[in-house]
């Protein structure tokens, strides 16, 4: 599978590469950002990509992003469709600062993986599903 990448803001200095461990690929901040507690920002990741037809990208924080930078991803996970593929369709990390902090250009803050799209589905309205109820949210307990 080949993915075309356009780098922005000097990010070709840190070319995207598959790491030797795991299935996710790291992305870096393409700008210096100073945040104060509870401030939000769309942090540029400095790349645009053309994903193959039938695939999308799942974008998430790295496991160490909160520990290292005190930020969380505003929407928990991002989905980037393959139609978001223009030269100026730059990927971003929607961040919320949980404490004051600084992110420097080149810091690894996000990760992504390429996922095959679901098969087409249809939805059919019914009067009953015909299954036993599970018991609602949290019905299996906490321990």
Q: What is the model's pLDDT at position 72?
A: 97
Q: How many Å apart are CA 81 and CA 114, to the nearest integer?
A: 10
Q: What is the model's pLDDT at position 141?
A: 72
Supply the residues annotated as catalytic: 81
pLDDT, tens digit only, all 143 positions of the chain: 889 999 999 999 999 987 777 889 999 999 999 999 999 999 999 999 999 999 999 999 999 999 999 999 998 889 999 999 999 999 999 999 999 999 999 999 999 999 999 999 999 999 999 998 887 777 777 77
Note the pTM of the prediction, 2 decimals: 0.86
Q: How many Å apart are CA 44 and CA 92, to the nearest integer?
A: 4
Query: Is-contact 69 107, C-beta < 8 A?
Result: yes
């Amino acid at each position: 599978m080949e993915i075309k990448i356009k780098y922005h803001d000097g990010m070709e200095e840190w070319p995207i590469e598959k790491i030797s461990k795991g299935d996710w690929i790291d992305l870096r901040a393409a700008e210096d950002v100073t945040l104060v507690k509870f401030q939000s920002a769309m942090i540029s990741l400095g790349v645009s990509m053309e994903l193959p037809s039938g695939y999308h990208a799942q974008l998430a924080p790295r496991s160490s992003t909160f520990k290292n930078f005190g930020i969380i991803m505003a929407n928990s996970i991002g989905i980037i469709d393959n139609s978001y593929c223009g030269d100026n369709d730059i990927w971003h990390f929607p961040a919320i600062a949980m404490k004051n902090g600084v992110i420097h250009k080149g810091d690894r803050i996000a990760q992504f993986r390429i996922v095959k799209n679901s098969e087409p589905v249809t939805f059919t309205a019914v009067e009953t599903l015909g299954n036993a109820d599970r018991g609602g949210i949290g019905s299996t307990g906490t321990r």
